[in-house]
């Protein structure tokens, strides 16, 4: 967990740093923070009935995220609808951080 936490914190920090440095150049920097996603990396967690249940019990949406769940946020950030959004870290996590 320490390396995972350090890398996530690093992404958040560099997102904010670059947002501040590049805003004057008309470049917006934002990040998408996925929650628990159904990927090859999480296959063992999902296959373990007890661990899977404990994770799902803490996700308000009560399901693992899919890659397709990230698309809408990516499209928003790539569109002119987000022209004044800068330095944001948008969670796509089924409500995990809202608990």
For residue 96, give the nearest of 64, 66, 51 by alpha carbon: 64
Query: At the topology level of CATH, where does 2-98 sit?
Result: Rossmann fold (3.40.50)
pLDDT in tens, 70-84: 999 999 999 999 999
Domain residue ranges of the chain, discontinuous segments joined by +: 2-98
* 36 is an active site residue: no
Catalytic residue among 3, 4, 5, 41: 4
pLDDT in tens, 27-51: 999 999 999 999 999 999 999 999 9
Q: pTM to 2 decimals?
A: 0.88
- State which H helix or E strand residue 74 sits in: helix 71-78
Evaluate if residue 6 carries a pLDDT over 90.
yes
The Cα 5–Cα 10 span in angstroms is 8
């Amino acid at each position: 967990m320490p390396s995972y936490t350090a890398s996530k914190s690093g992404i958040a920090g560099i997102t904010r740093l670059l947002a501040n440095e590049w805003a004057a150049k008309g470049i917006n920097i934002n990040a998408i923070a996925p929650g628990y996603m159904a990927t090859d990396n999480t296959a063992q967690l999902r296959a373990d009935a007890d661990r899977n249940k404990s994770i799902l019990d803490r996700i308000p949406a009560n399901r693992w995220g899919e890659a397709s769940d990230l698309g809408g946020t990516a499209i928003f950030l790539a569109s002119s609808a987000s022209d004044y959004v800068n330095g944001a870290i948008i969670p796509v996590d089924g409500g995990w951080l809202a608990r």
